[in-house]
Amino acid sequence: MSHFGVLENIRFAAGLPRHTLLELRAIGEKREYSAGEVIFQENGKCDDFFLVASGQVALEMHVAGRGQVGILTVGPGEMLGWSALFANGQMTATATALEPVCAIALSGRALRDLCDQNHELGYRIMRQAALALSQRLVATRLQVLDLFAAPG
């Protein structure tokens, strides 16, 4: 399947007009990762924004005194690498494929430029990103409560 076919079937892109999907296709590429492959490293630079088409990706953070701690699993229809939307590109977690993963990688710079030129697209992308980040914030809060809860 072409990356256009993959892109139009990703939940994150649901409802986007065809012309917008065409614009995204022009700045994206389909990437595949093997189980165990690191997609990006915490504190490393990455200017790609990823939309997961298939497979599961573990997000982990280094916690002092505990080492690498799993914070979330991201699956089909979800995004990775949101930092690329905000130009610094410094990753806040390590992303590792738990199984074979197919994703669409969009150039962060090109996506930011596209959002600046097309405010409707920019609104839709930022709205989708905000929804995903709010869900992650809740999941992370629950994980933190679990990590630091007093043993019962």
Q: What is the pLDDT of residues 38-97, one digit of tens each?
A: 999 999 999 999 999 999 999 998 888 878 888 889 999 888 998 888 877 789 899 999
Element (H, E) at 113: helix 108-117
Q: Considering its fold, how many domains does the chain have in total?
A: 1
Distances (CA, A) of 140 to 2, 9, 60, 98, 108: 34, 27, 11, 19, 24
- Confidence band, pLDDT 50/70/90 cuts, at residue 1: very low
Domain range spanning residue 125?
A: 3-148
Relative orientation angle of helices 119-148 and 18-27, to the nearest 10 degrees: 70
The CA distance from 13 to 127, in Å, is 11
Q: What percent of the chain has pLDDT over 90?
A: 41
Q: What is the mean pLDDT of the chain?
A: 85
Q: Tell me what pLDDT residue 100 has.
A: 98
DSSP designation for 139: H
CB atoms closer than 10 angstroms to residue 85:
20
CA 60 vs. chain centroid, Å, equals 13
Q: Are 88 and 41 in contact (CB under 8 A)?
A: no
- Which CATH number goes with the domain that contains 8? 2.60.120.10
pTM as predicted: 0.84
Q: What is the pLDDT of residues 86-136, one digit of tens each?
A: 877 789 899 999 999 999 999 999 999 999 998 988 998 888 888 888 887
